[in-house]
């Protein structure tokens, strides 16, 4: 989930020494890079089960900051917004390869551009690893099929 600023530097690289299931709520929440990719609408091909990302973003996503504009109260407006947790992480196979939760779950570690490592979201944006300036509001999209994009699949490191 894209969320309010959570990219503060931490004194220790806790994600290298603490298993996902043992993290505190604060540690878990801080793992989210705020890339916004999980706030994009996706399509699944009925015949092949293949997943396609679109650049049509949830209407609450801020295209510049990549944060949710109503994060705390988002479920009032988007009841099916997904909460990533240890209980569902294994099933959330649609999370992008670059997602911090997915990477750690697969034993890949965090990428060098992750805000927990760099101290801000700047490097993530600079490298194009977030949705910044690349989305359209889902309310303005008629056919999601016309908005399929490949860039959310990109991963670095
Ligand atoms: S894709 Fe993962 S890391 Fe990126 S905003 Fe969503 S939950 Fe956070
Ligand atoms: S409500 Fe929309 S913008 Fe906010 S976290 Fe959920 S999917 Fe993302």
Q: Whose CA is nearest to atom 2 of ligand 1?
A: 99
Two tokens, residue 52: 């396609």
* Ranges of residues in the chain whose predicted pLDDT is under 50: 2-10
39 Cα nearest atom in ligand 1: 6
Per-residue pLDDT at 88? 98
pLDDT of 76-93, one tens digit each? 999 999 999 999 999 999
pLDDT of 3-27, one tens digit each? 444 444 445 899 999 999 999 999 9
Please state the domain extents for the chain. 14-153
- Residue 92 alpha carbon to ligand 1 centre in Å: 11
- pTM for the model: 0.92
Q: Which-ligand-closest: CA of 57?
A: 2
Q: Whose CA is nearest to atom 7 of ligand 2?
A: 39
99/87 Cα distance (integer angstroms)? 17
- Residue 91 alpha carbon to ligand 1 centre in Å: 15
Range 9-14, long-range pairs (CB < 8 A, 24+ positions): 9/116, 9/119, 10/116, 13/116, 13/117
């Amino acid at each position: 989930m894209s969320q309010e600023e959570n990219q503060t530097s931490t004194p220790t690289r806790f994600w290298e020494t603490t298993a996902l299931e043992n993290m505190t709520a604060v540690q878990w929440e801080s793992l989210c890079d705020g890339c916004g990719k999980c706030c994009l609408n996706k399509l699944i091909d009925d015949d092949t089960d293949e997943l396609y990302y679109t650049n049509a973003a949830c209407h609450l996503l801020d295209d510049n900051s990549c944060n949710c504009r109503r994060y705390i109260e988002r479920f009032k407006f988007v009841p099916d917004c997904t909460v990533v947790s240890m209980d569902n992480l294994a099933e959330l196979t649609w999370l992008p390869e670059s997602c911090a939760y997915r990477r750690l779950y697969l034993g890949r570690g965090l990428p060098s551009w992750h805000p927990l490592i760099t101290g801000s979201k700047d490097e993530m944006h600079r490298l194009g690893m977030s949705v910044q300036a690349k989305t359209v509001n889902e309310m303005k999209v008629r056919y999601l099929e016309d908005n399929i994009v490949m860039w959310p699949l990109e991963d670095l490191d």
